[in-house]
Amino acid sequence: MRDHPGENLIALALIFVPLSLLAFGGSNAVLADIEHQTVSVQGWISAREFADFFALSRATPGPGSMLTALIGWKVAGLAGALVATLGLYTPAAILVYGASRVWGRWRGATWHSAIERGMAPIAAGLLLSGGVAVLRASPGGWPVWVAAAVATAALWQWRRLPPLALIAAGGALFGVVSAFYR
Amino acid sequence: MEQAPENATAKDVIVPPSVLIGLAGIFLAFLRLGCTAFGGGTAGWLYRDIVVRRRWLDDATFLTMLGVGQALPGANGLKATVLIGQHLHGATGAISAFLGLLSGPFVIILIVGAVYGEIGEHPILHAVLDGIAAAAIGLTFDTGLRGAVHGAPGLAPLAMTATTVVCVGILRWPILPVIMGLAPVSIGLVLARRSRR
Total residues found in chain A within this entry: 182
Tally the C-alpha atoms within 13 A of residue B76's C-alpha that lie toward its C-beta: 21
Q: Where are the domains of chain B?
A: 1-120
Tell me, yes or no, whether A104 and A19 share the same domain. Answer: yes
Q: Is this prediction's ipTM beyond 0.85?
A: yes
Domain with A80, as residue range(s), is: 5-139
| pLDDT tens digits, one per residue of A51-95 | 999 999 999 998 777 999 999 999 999 999 999 999 999 999 999
- Are A12 and A76 members of one domain? yes
Side chain identity, residue B130: D
- Measure CB to CB from residue B71 to each of A69, A115, A162 and give the nearest one: A115
- Residue A87 shares a structural domain with residue A168: no
Residue B58 forms contact with A (CB below 8 Å): no
A134 and A147 both lie in a single domain: no
Q: Residue A110 — very low, low, confident or very high, per pLDDT cuts 50/70/90?
A: confident
- pTM score, whole prediction: 0.90
A62 touches chain B (CB under 8 A): yes
Q: Kindly state whether B66 is in contact with chain A, defined as any CB-CB distance less than 8 angstroms.
A: no
Q: What letter would DSSP give residue B97?
A: H
- Neighbouring-strand partners of residue B74: A24
Tell if the CB–CB gap between B141 and A128 is shorter than 8 Å. yes
The count of other CB atoms within 10 Å of the CB of residue B183 is 16
What stretches in chain B show pLDDT beneath 50? 1-12
Count of domains forming chain A: 2
Q: Which helix (H) or strand (E) holds B108?
A: helix B76-119
Residues A44, A54 within the same domain: yes
The answer to whether B147 and A120 are in contact (CB under 8 A) is yes
Of A126, A140, A152, which has the smallest distance from its Cβ to B130's Cβ? A140
Query: pLDDT for A19-43, tens place per residue?
Result: 999 999 888 999 999 999 999 999 9
B172 within 8 A of A31, measured Cβ to Cβ: no
Question: Do A128 and A170 fall into the same domain?
Answer: no
Is the minimum CB–CB distance between B72 and chain A shorter than 8 Å?
yes
Q: Are residues A100 and A175 in the same domain?
A: no
> By the CB < 8 Å criterion, does A59 face chain B?
yes
For residue range B38-85, list pLDDT tens digits in order.
766 778 888 888 999 999 988 888 888 887 777 889 988 899 999 999
**Cα–Cα distance for residue pair A179/A181, rounded to 1 Å:** 6
Residues of chain A contacting B68 with CB distance shorter than 8 Å: 96, 99-100, 103, 107
Q: How far apart (Å, rounded) are the C-alpha atoms in residues A120 and B158?
A: 10
Give A63-117 as a 3 state SS string. CCCCHHHHHHHHHHHHHHHHHHHHHHHHHHHHHHHHHHHHHHHHCCCHHHHHHHH
